[in-house]
Chains A and B, each alone.
Chain A
Amino acid sequence: MMSLPKKDNSITSANSMKAEVFSSSASEAEMKAIAKRLRRHIITMTGKAGSGHPGGSLSAVEILTTLYFRVLRHKPLAPQWTNRDRFILSKGHAAPLLYATLAECGYFPIDELLTLRQMDSRLQGHTDRTLTPGVEMSAGALGQGLSFAIGVALAGRLNSKDYRVYVLLGDGECDEGQVWEAAMAAAHFKVDNLVAIVDNNGQQIDGWNRDVMNLDPFPSKWQAFGWHVIEVDGHDFTQLTQAFNQAKLVKGQPTVIIAHTIKGKGVSFMENNPDFHGKAPTAGEVKLALKELE
C-alpha cells in the first residue's frame, strides 16, 4: 500500500518520504480520490490564473494518476535520481495536470499550484524543465516530445539503465509531422523501454479532429509504423494499469497506448466542449465545477 501525501502537503510532511522510492499500488478508491483532487486543482489553478488549458488537462487525469501512483518508479524529493522512470509531457499545455500531479506526489507544496502562470512562478504556462522539480521537458511547441523521449530511452540503453520512458501526446498533436518522424525512428531503433500514450479526446482547438484534420485510421497508423498498439478506456484505472503492465512485456518494439478519453472530463459543461481547450473557467464556472467535483 502506498502512503498518500497529506492534502495540505507541506515541505516538512514531504520530507518524511525522503529517499523513498515512490512506487506504489494505490487502490481503486484511493485512485478515484486522487483523480478528483487533481481535477479540483486544475479548475482552481486555471480559474485563479485566468488562463490556461483545462480541457486537455481534465481528459488525461486518469492517465497521470495511474502513472504516478501505480506505474512510475520515482522519488519526489530526488527528482534527478538517475534510475527514475521518466514521464515526458509532450502536450505541454496540459501543464496544470502535470503540476497538480507532481504536487500531490510531494515534488513541491500543493499551495504553490495557485501561482500558476504568475510572474516569478515556477509553474509556467507551458512546462519548463529548468524551473519545476519533476518536469523533464520544456514543452508547449507540439510534436517534440516523442523525439526527446527516444533520446532519453536510447541513453538508458547505452548506460545499461533499466528505467522506462513514458511520453504523453495529444491526438491533435499527432497532426505534427515530427511525431511520425519519431514514430518511425522509435520502431527502427527498437526502443522497447519507451511507451507513448495518446490522450485521444477527439478534439483540438478548431473542433473535432475528424473535421479539422482526420487522423483515422489512427491505431493502424501506429501499427504500420512498427509499434505495439493497445487501446483502452482512458478513464478506467484497471484498463490503464493492465496496458502499462502489458507494455513492460513487449520486447523489440515500442508500445503506444491509445487512451480514449473525453475532453473536459468530470465537469459537465466542459466535457466535449472545445471552448475549454485554452480558456480558463470564470469565477462562477469554477464554483459550479467544484460543486460537481465534491
Chain B
Amino acid sequence: MSQEVSQRETYGKTLVELGRENRDIVVLDADLSRSTMTMLFAREFPERFFDCGIAEQNMVGIAAGLAASGKIPFASTFAVFAAGRCFDQIRMSIAQPGLNVKLVASHSGISVGEDGTSHQSIEDLALIGSLPGFTVIVPADAIETAQAVKAAAAHFGPFYIRLCRPKLPLVYNEGYHFALGKAVTLRQGRDATIIAIGLMVKVALEAAGNLEGEGIDCRVLNMPTLKPIDEAAIIQAATETGAIVTAEEHLEHGGLGSAVAQVVARHQPVPMEFVAIKDTYAKSGKPAELFKRYGLTAKDIERSVKSAIERKWLSPFRP
C-alpha cells in the first residue's frame, strides 16, 4: 500500500512556507478555509488572510485588486464555485488584464462524492481552460501539488490549480521536479499512450500494469500543466505509439481530451479514446461507486486502450 496524502493539506502547508518567504503572498477564501486548508495560512498570517464570506464573486474581484497593486493573491474555494459561479469575474477582472491571481480550487470532480451534483465540478477545466492567458494545472498527488503551488507563486500571470477532496496515493517521490508546461513520462511503452491528469494518473498506471499482463505495452504520460499543453510530448506519443487515450475526472468536452485531440488532429492524427464523464451530471455516492458508474476506472481505460489500438489498423496513418 502506498502512502495517501491530502493535496489540500499540502496546499495549506505550502502557503505557509511561501508566506514566510514573501510578504506579498496574501490569501483569500470564501468561508471554506477549513476545507481548502487555507486556515493554516490564516493562523500564521492573520493580517494577510481575507475571509470574504460566502461571496465568491467579490473574493475574485478583491484578489484582482490586490494583484493590480503588486500582491500575489491565492484565492481558494471549491472548484464548482470558483470556476462556475465566478466565470465573468475571472474573465474580466483577472484573465483579460492578465493579473497575477492564483485560483486554487479544491473539491473538484466527482471524487467529492456524497455531496452530489451541486458540489461536483466537472466543467471547470473547460471554463477556465477557455480563458486566454490562464495557466491551468491539475496535480496528480500531494508532492506535485506543493511544487505546482510554488511554481504558480514564482511565475507572473493568472493560474488555476485544481485539487481534489480525497487523500491520494503518491505518484511521485520527494526527488520529483515539476516543470511548468512539461509532461512527465511515468512509463515507457510502444503500443499506445495513456495521457492522464489529477487522480486519474494513478488509475492510468494501474491500467497500464494490467495491460502489460495481456501483452500490451502502454506509455503513460502525466500532463500536470493542462494549459499551455505540452504539444511536443503529445506529438511524440502519437508518432511513436500510434494510439492515444486520455483520462480525466471531468466532462468529455472541453478538458484534457479536447486539448490533446486538437494537438493530435493538427499534427499527427491517430486513433484516440476519451476516458471522461459523458454528457451528464453525476449523483451522490461513494467516490469508488461513482467512478465505476461514470466510467473512470482502470477497466474503462483498459477497454479504451484496446479500442484505440484496434482502430490503428483502420487508419491510413498507421505506423
Chain A residues, CB < 8 A from B48 = 158
CA distance A150 to B50 in the complex (A): 11
CA distance A159 to B60 in the complex (A): 20
Cβ–Cβ contact A178 & B57, under 8 A:
yes
Cβ–Cβ contact B97 & A159, under 8 A:
no
In the complex, whether B137 has a CB less than 8 A from a CB of chain A is: no
B23, closest chain A residue (CB): A158
Q: Interface size class for chain A?
A: 20 to 34
Cβ–Cβ contact B58 & A138, under 8 A:
no
In the complex, whether B118 has a CB less than 8 A from a CB of chain A is: no
In the complex, whether A151 has a CB less than 8 A from a CB of chain B is: yes
Q: Mark A168-187, 1 if CB is under 8 A from B, else 0.
A: 00000000011001101100
Chain A residues, CB < 8 A from B68 = 129, 136-137, 148, 151-152, 155
Listed stretches A139-147, A211-219, A222-230; interface member:
A139-147
Chain A residues, CB < 8 A from B63 = 151
Chain A residues, CB < 8 A from B53 = 181, 184-185, 188
In the complex, whether B126 has a CB less than 8 A from a CB of chain A is: no
Residues facing B in A250-289 (CB within 8 A) are: none
| Interchain nearest-CB distance for A30 vs B (Å) | 32
A92, closest chain B residue (CB): B92
Cβ–Cβ contact A155 & B65, under 8 A:
yes
- Known A-B contacts A152-B65, A159-B69; the reply to A181 vs B97 at CB < 8 A is no
In the complex, whether A3 has a CB less than 8 A from a CB of chain B is: no
A182, closest chain B residue (CB): B58
Cβ–Cβ contact B50 & A154, under 8 A:
yes
Contact of B62 among A137, A139, A150, A156 (CB under 8 A): A150
Cβ–Cβ contact B70 & A151, under 8 A:
no
In the complex, whether B96 has a CB less than 8 A from a CB of chain A is: yes
Chain B residues, CB < 8 A from A85 = none
Chain B residues, CB < 8 A from A152 = 65-66, 68-69
- Known A-B contacts A138-B96, A141-B88, A158-B47; the reply to A147 vs B61 at CB < 8 A is yes
Cβ–Cβ contact B65 & A148, under 8 A:
yes
Q: Mark B87-107, 1 if CB is under 8 A from A, else 0.
A: 011011100111000000000
CA distance A140 to B91 in the complex (A): 12
Contact of B97 among A82, A129, A177, A182 (CB under 8 A): A129
Cβ–Cβ contact A185 & B52, under 8 A:
yes
A183, closest chain B residue (CB): B58
Chain A residues, CB < 8 A from B55 = 178, 181, 184-185
In the complex, whether A130 has a CB less than 8 A from a CB of chain B is: yes
Cβ–Cβ contact B92 & A154, under 8 A:
no
Residues facing A in B54-93 (CB within 8 A) are: 55, 57-71, 73, 88-89, 91-93
Q: Mark A13-31, 1 if CB is under 8 A from B, else 0.
A: 0000000000000000000
Given contacts A137-B68, A151-B64, A155-B68, 17 further A-B contacts (CB under 8 A): A136-B68, A141-B89, A141-B92, A147-B59, A147-B89, A148-B61, A148-B93, A150-B58, A150-B62, A151-B73, A152-B68, A154-B66, A182-B58, A184-B53, A185-B55, A185-B58, A188-B53
Please list the 8 inter-chain residue pairs (A to B) with the smallest Cβ-Cβ separation, ordered nearest first. Answer: A151-B65, A147-B61, A155-B69, A181-B58, A181-B55, A151-B62, A151-B66, A148-B65
